[in-house]
Amino acid sequence: MARMSMIEAIRDAHDIAMGQDDKVVVFGEDVGYFGGVFRCTKGLQEKYGRNRCFDAPINESGIVGTAIGMAAYGLRPCVEIQFADYVYPAYDQIVSEAARIRYRSDGDFTCPMVVRMPTGGGIYGGQTHSQSPEALFAHVAGLKTVIPSNPYDAKGLLISSIEDDDPVIFLEPKRLYYCPFDGYHDRPVTPWSKNDLGEVPDGHYTVSLGKAAIRREGKDVTIVAYGTMVHVALAAAEDAGIDAEVIDLRTIVPVDLDTVAESVKKTGRCVVVHEATRTCGFGAELVTLIANHCFYHLEAPPTRVTGYDTPYPHAQEWDYFPGPKRVGDALKRVMEPA
């Protein structure tokens, strides 16, 4: 079993999908000749030709609109938006066309397409290269929204997404492309090659959309996270010395409420962590679901640790970024006696 970075796992997923199905096509800005800004599609054009992996103009609306037409006529496009921050010109196409086509056509048409994009901060990208817009897609009926936290999941989830008959938003935490990141920016990092979740099976396999993973078992409090925040949550639990159970959602739509509810009913406490801004972030939906389904089991109100309601700052990146200290403080607060 090979050890891969998340970039290599994503590239391998493309390769597997394109090799098994001639209807899979890959395109976007610089994804062909250069293999993408992060090299997630490197070598695919050389292997599969310019008709199946090609460059697109700098026009996000055009990229997604073209993919929708391809999908409606039987292809399976997997397109890349260079950064999630750039997806907004394509939002109307995603919401009004891709997400609605099955409903509007009474099932005569589907839209089997994937929109991939790097998301999140931690790379000194500032306000235009660090946003986490997942809640905007989770709000839209007809879309699935996927956020992997490691190479193993990234490959399996991407293959599942490409094989799905409906549109999938695939958000890749770019701070995790090369290594797990626990939020300690001033410490050395360990590459995926030295992490068990960097072990990626050869060939075809899938990770089911809508099935969470328990990354750390515990009995005192449940931490619900996704993407980069999974690793921050693990570090926070360790540093705080609290027996926390850490759940990696993997997908936020569909969300694995059964796994979350079972854990919260066991622990009686919950902290939800995400990097996106606080107001109307997906954490608000999670807290509501937990309150609705676990109310009589709660020993304390569910709480959130999130980004702040401000554009992502450049100079104060680590004040904005929900690091292990902020998560640890929330764990200690929720553990205080009522």
Cα maximum dimension of the chain: 63
Going from the C-alpha of 120 to that of each of 127, 177, 207, 241, 317, the distances in angstroms are 10, 11, 22, 27, 11
Residue 98 CA, chain-centre distance (Å), reads: 19
- Reference 155, options 146, 165, 144; nearest CA is 146
- Reference 197, options 222, 230, 240, 167; nearest CA is 230
- Rounded CA-CA distance 137/144 in Å is 8
- Rounded CA-CA distance 163/56 in Å is 23
The yes-or-no answer on residue 314 being catalytic is no
Q: What angle do CA 63, 69, 70 make, to 5 degrees?
A: 85
Given the residues 129, 185, 231, 293, the one annotated as active site:
129
Going from the C-alpha of 249 to that of each of 170, 254, 258, 273, 315, the distances in angstroms are 14, 9, 11, 11, 30
Contacts of 107 by beta carbon, 8 Å cutoff, 6+ apart: none
- Given a contact cutoff of 8 angstroms between Cβ atoms, the answer to whether 260 and 237 are in contact is no
- Residues involved in catalysis: 129
